[in-house]
Amino acid sequence: MPKVEPIMYGDRKVFTVSSFNRGVASYLGRLPAVWVEGEVTELRRNEAWATVFVTLKDPKTGAILNVTIARRAYDRLDLALEEGETVHVSGRAELYELKGELGLRATTIERIGLGEHLLALERLKRQLAAEGLFDPSRKRKLPRLPRAIGVLTGADAAARGDLLATIGTRFPAAKVVVCEARVQGKGAPASIVAALSALTRHPEVDVIVLARGGGSFEDLLPFSDETVVRAVVAAQVPVVSAVGHEQDTPLCDLAADARAATPTAAGALVIPDVSDLTAVLESSRRRLALAVGNLLARDGTRVERLSERLRVAPRLLLERRRSALDHTGARLHALSPLATLDRGYAIVRAGAVALRDASVVAPGDRLEIELASGELGARVEDVRA
């Protein structure tokens, strides 16, 4: 770094802004590396950038510090930091000369307190998510009216009491199967898995609620255990997670078919309110009565129309038959030999046979002639065949 030289105005030494910033930066560069604790309020990372930018805040005073770290160094840490986390950052003070901004050039970043647990939990979360265990498409709908509700709970009287009270208030006739398990400490994951399996095998349980009141991060860790998460996914009936408070998000929340912020909210999810059902049934009854009334009215009108048609149908049928008979009679009359006689023709018989050929008679034969009115007797005088 070039030496910072002042500009002399008589006996006054004057530094330009750039010179001043460069001099301060040079001085800061001689300071030792330090550890700084703060809360992550902003993190900016981009594949195209060589540097990751982090803003730390002192939650007590609100003071902020800009931190930079090489992107490759940050990626090797595999932290997946999120805003609100508290971290320890190791680095050296530096000054961004162009803007005169003080910052910290970091070499490493560590979560504090539960850092290792959080890191392991984040890795497990990414692994299970990659397997599709948290995929919304695999989540099942909760039954409308379960035959029985399975409740997996510990000795936490408050969580269990709130859940059972809510279910009893909403639907007094609801059947609840309670299965207690160890929900924190050593052996809790195995106990939770065993209880889940027992509830799943119950012949009437149609939905299971995991109920656990609030607690510390360590207290809720069993509900983020891999075996518990996989057991929730493998359950044969839908599972509702009601673990901790609303701000807590154990991994079983992500794997469950539904999540409730509290055990009380879980009760509202798994069973309908009997008053709502009563209102729905009453509404359905009214609609059914109205529909039946409308149907009867329509059928009554239809019956009246059919009755009127039946009343007039015989008369119409007789008139149609009479008309057809008259028509047939007219045709028969037109084809009758008598009608032919009325037109001036006659029927000539030789004996009992109508005469059609003159050659079959001889002069002197007797003939019978039938006219339209009366008959004549005659003899043949001449035959012209």
Q: In terms of domains, do 69 and 167 share one?
A: no
8 A C-beta contact, residue 81 and residue 119: no
What pLDDT shows up at residue 190? Answer: 94
Of 77, 112, 147, the residue at which a domain comes to its end is: 112
pLDDT band at 260 (very low <50, low <70, confident <90, very high): very high
Q: Is residue 171 part of a domain?
A: yes
Q: Is residue 125 part of a domain?
A: no
Q: Is residue 126 part of a domain?
A: no
8 A C-beta contact, residue 251 and residue 128: yes
Q: In terms of domains, do 200 and 284 share one?
A: no
In DSSP terms, 190 is beta-bridged to: none
Query: Is it the case that residue 208 has pLDDT exceeding 80?
Result: yes
What pLDDT shows up at residue 244? Answer: 76
Q: What are 361-380's pLDDT values in tens digits?
A: 888 888 888 887 888 888 88
Q: In terms of domains, do 267 and 143 share one?
A: yes
Q: In terms of domains, do 257 and 343 share one?
A: no
Q: In terms of domains, do 198 and 316 share one?
A: no
Among 361, 139, 159, 344, CA closest to 243: 159
Q: In terms of domains, do 199 and 261 share one?
A: yes
Query: Is it the case that residue 340 has pLDDT exceeding 70?
Result: yes
Of 222, 244, 272, the residue at which a domain comes to its end is: 272
Of 229, 249, 272, the residue at which a domain comes to its end is: 272
Q: What are 30-40's pLDDT values in tens digits?
A: 889 999 999 99
Instruction: Kindly report the CATH number assigned to the domain that includes residue 261.
Output: 3.40.50.10550
Q: In terms of domains, do 212 and 307 share one?
A: no
Q: What are 79-106's pLDDT values in tens digits?
A: 778 777 888 999 999 998 888 889 999 9
CB atoms within 10 A of CB 45: 14
For the entire predicted model, the pTM comes to 0.51
Provide the number of structural domains found in the chain: 4
8 A C-beta contact, residue 184 and residue 215: yes
Instruction: State the Cα–Cα distance between residues 159 and 222, nearest whole angstrom.
Output: 17
310 exposed, middle or buried (CB, 10 Å; 0-12, 13-18, 19+)?
exposed
- DSSP per position, 157-215: HHHHHHHHHHHHHH-TT--EEEEE---SSTTHHHHHHHHHHHHHH-SSEEEEEEEE---
Sign of the CA dihedral with 186 first, then 189, 192, and 194 last:
negative
Q: What are 224-235's pLDDT values in tens digits?
A: 999 999 999 999
What pLDDT shows up at residue 156? Answer: 64
pLDDT band at 220 (very low <50, low <70, confident <90, very high): confident
Instruction: Kindly report the CATH number assigned to the domain that includes residue 64.
Output: 2.40.50.140
Q: In terms of domains, do 313 and 356 share one?
A: no
What pLDDT shows up at residue 196? Answer: 95
Q: Is residue 219 part of a domain?
A: yes
Q: What are 305-333's pLDDT values in tens digits?
A: 888 888 888 888 888 888 888 888 878 77
Q: In terms of domains, do 292 and 245 share one?
A: no
Query: Is it the case that residue 203 has pLDDT exceeding 70?
Result: yes
Q: In terms of domains, do 241 and 309 share one?
A: no
3-state SS, residue 71: helix
CB atoms within 10 A of CB 100: 13
Instruction: State the Cα–Cα distance between residues 385 and 349, nearest whole angstrom.
Output: 17
Sign of the CA dihedral with 81 first, then 248, 144, and 275 last:
negative
Q: Is residue 22 part of a domain?
A: yes
Q: Is residue 217 part of a domain?
A: yes
User: What mean pLDDT comes out for the span 191-214?
Assistant: 93
Query: Is it the case that residue 124 has pLDDT exceeding 80?
Result: yes
Q: In terms of domains, do 141 and 265 share one?
A: yes
Q: In terms of domains, do 267 and 286 share one?
A: no
Helices (H), 271-370: 274-335, 337-342
8 A C-beta contact, residue 252 and residue 223: yes
Q: Domain range spanning residue 350?
A: 339-379
3-state SS, residue 274: helix
